[in-house]
């Protein structure tokens, strides 16, 4: 019998820490700081709108690109938030989460051999999606010394004549790092000079602290070479609704809509109706969640400082990324032992790229009570490690 | 007041309103401020009566204590020069009165009353409240079940169904 599988797909490496994830998810009595989704329920007015749409019998497909009303609200929202205006009819596509937009976007923009710059540590799907689109992933390791921001020096090292796309994963999962306008300006200049396109994954854009999120698309000359990807999962606490969107040049969106039509048909109708309410009326709820995350973020930074755990202060998403290099073991070993000995689940930095070695991703999408309990156990664990080290 | 100080005050108040038992060190860490600064702001706000107390939300239904709560609508004739204030004062000084609000709409004062029994509450209405000069009439509503009080839903929350670890 012939091998039923595609070599291209089989060759894609499963996440190296799949095993760790499986063990952790089986440990029901563990306390977790390992989740990449909000702890808040979706705001009630959004859920209510979803329920109402079902009661009304709105259970049919929407147009491929998404409900017109939702696309209009998305464009109004982006205009308000990042100061870039898009045409809801030609430059906007509603997708099944930001994840679909990453996948479809790369498929639509890459020819075989085109290189994609992927700053890491970053979310796990950019690399495999590039491979599936026949592109060549080129990892750009971000530096702790730069607070894991992307610099032109980083880019210079990895850009070749074949480079076509730069992924911009900010605010960043797992580091919590953000890029301010000043940080983005030299990157934008570099992108224009080298005639690159940018896929800007801004799924955490609602969750920045101290400074407002700035999209690279809002910088001069960048709108026409940037695909902005965003969604409802993080800021609106709607992970399970599977709803995202992307906005960008009409030529790209047109091809993406075609692919989306063949692969997906349309994003879930109930989620689309609910999301309209989110964009129109949930500013207060989103702000309240942001404030709560911010308090927990400050609390964690305060506690790390007290414990003497090295960590740069992150200003985005809901993660902190402390260094565990002092303990002289790999991130996975640290995370595995912490799970076994103290029943606390955190994610090894290496889940997000090799350059995450020596770091842990700790999520603060948890109640303060959970955070306190978990931190107490982490402290006990590292004190034990330090004692055994003869210090 | 500087914008930062104002923002800190509001953040402290919002947090305390839900978590009045938080200790000072933790509150300061959450606010990203120094302990002394937070302590000073709290002391000032107590003095200014912005912070009026630190209360506890109790679901008395879960205890053996007999208690009924009533909402009483009161229509009154406002007094020359004093408006509704004088009548409100005569009502709110009774210790069993839990809250008194001046209300827009078809009646004037809303009085919340806590008593041991329906009988005790109705006796208060007929013997104390109704006879007050200027009170035209009252309508008493007894609370049968509290679903949500002070912004808190009284039924226990479901367990989280999130996975333990996700990228």
Enter the tokens of residue A318.
């809901």
Interface contact A18, partner B, CB < 8 A: no
B162:A368 CB<8 A: no
pLDDT tens sequence for chain A (391 residues): 999 999 999 999 877 677 788 888 888 788 999 999 999 999 999 999 999 999 999 999 999 999 999 999 999 999 999 999 999 999 999 999 999 999 999 999 999 999 999 999 999 999 999 999 999 999 999 999 999 999 999 999 999 999 999 999 999 999 999 999 999 999 999 999 999 999 999 999 999 998 999 999 999 999 999 999 999 999 999 999 999 999 999 999 999 999 999 999 999 999 999 999 999 999 999 999 999 999 999 999 999 999 999 999 999 999 999 999 999 999 999 999 999 999 999 999 999 999 999 999 999 999 999 999 999 999 999 999 999 876 5
The 10s digit of each residue's pLDDT in B152-163 is 898 877 777 888
Task: Find the residue in B nearest to A304 (Cα).
Answer: B29
Confirm or reject contact between B26 and chain A (CB < 8 A).
yes
CB pairs under 8 A between A and B: 57
Mean pLDDT to the nearest integer, B26-42: 97
Closest CA to A176 of A361, A365, A372, A300: A361
pLDDT digits (tens, 9 = 90+) for B40-58: 999 999 999 999 999 999 9
For chain A, say whether B30 makes contact (Cβ under 8 Å). Answer: yes
Interface pTM (ipTM) of the complex?
0.86
pLDDT at B1 over 80: no
Check residue A391 and give its pLDDT: 53
pLDDT of residue A169: 98
**pLDDT reading at B23 higher than 60:** yes
Query: From the candidates A14, A35, A375, which should be mutated to test the interface with B, based on the most B CB atoms within 10 A?
Result: A35
What tokens does B89 get? 């004062």
Do B164 and A24 make contact, defined as CB atoms within 8 angstroms? yes
What residues of chain B, 44 to 63, have a C-beta less than 8 Å from chain A?
A: none
Q: Hunting for tokens 């051999």 — which residue is that?
A: A113
Is the Cβ pair A347, B30 closer than 8 Å? no
Q: Which residues of B touch A295 (CB under 8 A)?
A: 11, 15, 30-31
CA distance A170 to chain B (A): 16
In A, minimum Cα distance to B159 occurs at A39
Q: Which of B15, B29, B166 sits opposite A35 (nearest CB)?
A: B166
- What b/e string do you get for B83-114 counting C-beta neighbours within 10 Å, with b at 16 or more? ebeebbeebeeeeebeebeeeeeebbbbbebb
From chain A, the residues in CB contact with B26 under 8 A are: 299
Identify which of A27, A37, A298 has the shortest CB distance to residue B166.
A37
Choose among A384, A372, A391: nearest CA to A338: A384
Segment B65-86, tens digit of pLDDT: 999 999 999 999 988 778 899 9
β-pair partners for A201: A229
Q: Can you give the pLDDT at residue A307?
A: 95
Contact A37 B11 (CB under 8 A): no
- A-chain CB neighbours of B31 within 8 Å are 295, 298
- At B161 the pLDDT is 81
What DSSP line would sit under A304-346, residue for residue?
HHHHT-------BTTEE--B-GGG-S-HHHHHHHHHHHH-EE-
Q: Give me the pLDDT at residue B155, please.
A: 83
Residue A371: per-residue pLDDT: 96
A43, A78, A53: which is closest to A231 by C-alpha?
A78
CB–CB contact B165 A368 (8 Å): no
What are the Cα distances from residue A130, in Å, to A110, A127, A141, A245, A359?
A: 8, 5, 17, 19, 25
Distance in Å, alpha carbon of A26 to nearest chain B alpha carbon: 8
């Amino acid at each position: 019998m012939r091998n039923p599988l595609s070599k291209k797909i089989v060759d894609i490496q499963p996440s190296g820490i799949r095993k760790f994830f499986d063990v952790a998810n089986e440990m029901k009595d563990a306390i977790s700081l390992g989740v990449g989704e909000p702890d808040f329920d979706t705001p009630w007015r959004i859920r209510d709108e979803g329920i109402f749409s079902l009661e009304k019998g709105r259970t049919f497909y929407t147009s491929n690109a998404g409900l017109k009303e939702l696309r209009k609200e998305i464009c109004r929202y982006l205009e308000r938030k990042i100061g870039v205006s898009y045409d809801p009819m030609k430059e906007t596509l509603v997708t099944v989460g930001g994840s679909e937009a990453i996948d479809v976007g790369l498929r639509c923009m890459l020819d075989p051999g085109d290189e994609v710059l992927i700053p890491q540590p970053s979310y796990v799907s950019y690399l495999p999606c590039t491979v599936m689109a026949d592109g060549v992933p080129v990892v750009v390791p971000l530096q702790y010394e730069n607070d894991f921001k992307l610099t032109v020096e980083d880019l210079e090292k990895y850009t070749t004549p074949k480079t076509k796309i730069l992924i911009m994963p900010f605010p960043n999962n797992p580091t919590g790092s953000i890029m301010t306008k000043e940080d983005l300006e030299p990157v934008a200049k570099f992108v224009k000079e080298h005639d690159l396109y940018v896929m800007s994954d801004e799924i955490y854009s609602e969750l920045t602290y101290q400074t407002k999120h700035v999209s690279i698309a809002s910088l001069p000359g960048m709108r026409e070479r940037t695909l902005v990807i965003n969604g409802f999962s993080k800021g609106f606490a709607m992970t399970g609704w599977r709803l995202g969107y992307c906005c960008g040049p009409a030529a790209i969106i047109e091809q993406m809509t075609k692919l989306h039509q063949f692969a997906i048909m349309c994003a879930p109708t109930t989620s689309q109706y609910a999301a309209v309410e989110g964009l129109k009326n949930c500013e207060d709820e989103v702000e309240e969640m942001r404030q709560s995350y911010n308090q927990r973020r400050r609390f964690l930074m305060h506690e790390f400082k007290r414990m003497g755990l090295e960590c740069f202060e992150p200003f985005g998403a809901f993660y902190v990324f402390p260094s565990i290099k002092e303990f002289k073991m790999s991130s996975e070993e640290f995370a595995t032992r912490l799970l076994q000995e103290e029943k606390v689940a955190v994610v090894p930095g290496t889940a997000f790229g090799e350059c995450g070695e020596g770091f842990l991703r700790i999520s603060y999408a948890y109640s303060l009570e959970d955070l306190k309990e978990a931190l107490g156990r982490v402290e006990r664990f590292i004190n034990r490690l330090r004692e055994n080290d003869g210090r | 007041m500087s914008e930062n100080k104002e923002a800190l005050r509001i953040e402290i108040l919002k947090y305390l309103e839900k978590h009045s038992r938080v200790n000072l060190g933790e509150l300061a860490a959450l606010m990203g401020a120094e302990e002394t600064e937070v302590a000073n702001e709290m002391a000032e706000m107590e003095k200014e009566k912005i912070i009026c107390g630190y209360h506890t939300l109790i679901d008395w239904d879960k205890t053996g204590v007999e208690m009924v709560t009533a909402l009483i609508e009161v229509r009154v004739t406002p007094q020359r020069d004093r408006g509704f204030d004088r009548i409100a004062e005569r009502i709110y000084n009774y210790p069993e009165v839990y809250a008194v609000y001046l209300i827009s709409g078809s009646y004037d004062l809303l009085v919340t009353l806590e008593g041991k029994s329906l009988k005790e509450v109705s006796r208060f209405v007929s013997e104390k409240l109704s006879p007050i000069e200027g009170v035209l009439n009252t309508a008493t509503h007894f609370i049968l079940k509290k679903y949500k009080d002070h912004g808190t839903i009284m039924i226990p929350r479901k367990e989280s169904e999130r996975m333990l670890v996700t990228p």
